[in-house]
Amino acid sequence: MVAATLGAVIVTILLFQYQLRHVEAAAAATMYDLITPTLAAAQSPIIWFGLGRPGGFGLLITPDCSAAFLLVPLFLLGMGLVLPVRLVLRQVLSALATATVVLITGNLLRIGAIAVAMRVAGPDTGYQIGHLVIGSAISVIFISISLVLITIIITGRQITAKRPR
């Protein structure tokens, strides 16, 4: 039953990815408006930074740059984790919820990093550095954190590094 529900969530993400990207743009605009004039487009997954200032620009959240792109594999993993009877369902769902928050937060930070890189290095170089280098590094870090948290929550143990003697 839970695996079927997670499958339905995956289908919903895929069917409504455009709307989810717009929600993501609105969330990022709300967050970054505290720092610089920022606005999400009314009907599109676009965030406008530095409105009313020289050098203002917009970022389009494409399907491959959206948190939805990260959530589908996460929920596929969740489907695989809820099938074995040995795992505690509450822990699996808690792990998925935590990982979801981590991935969305990481993607919002990634959007901000791309915007800062564009502001500093210009739209061409800044976008390339922000998107390909800094943004990718942020994604890898937050994906790693989410996987570690999933492991900790599901196993109920802390992961510690052994020190050499």
Q: What is the side-by-side strand order in the sheet with 57-60?
A: 38-40, 46-49, 57-60
Residue with tokens 């699996």: 92
Percent of the chain with pLDDT over 70: 94
pLDDT above 70 for 143: yes
pLDDT above 80 for 32: yes
pLDDT above 90 for 123: no
pLDDT above 90 for 19: yes
Torsion (CA) 133, 134, 138, 139 in degrees, nearest 10: -40
Q: What is the spatial distance between Cα 41 and Cα 27, in angstroms, rounded to a whole number?
A: 12
pLDDT per residue as tens digits for the range 85-121: 678 888 999 999 999 999 999 999 999 999 999 989 9
pLDDT (average), residues 126-130:
93
Q: What share of the chain is helix, strand, coil (3-state, %, to 5)?
A: 70, 5, 25
Residue 81: predicted pLDDT: 86
Residue 30: predicted pLDDT: 94
Angle at 68 between CA 66 and CA 70, to 5 degrees: 90
pLDDT (average), residues 39-54:
89
Ramachandran angles phi, psi of 84, nearest 5°: -70, 140
pLDDT per residue as tens digits for the range 48-79: 998 888 888 999 999 888 999 899 999 999 99
Pairing type for strands 38-40 and 46-49 reads: antiparallel
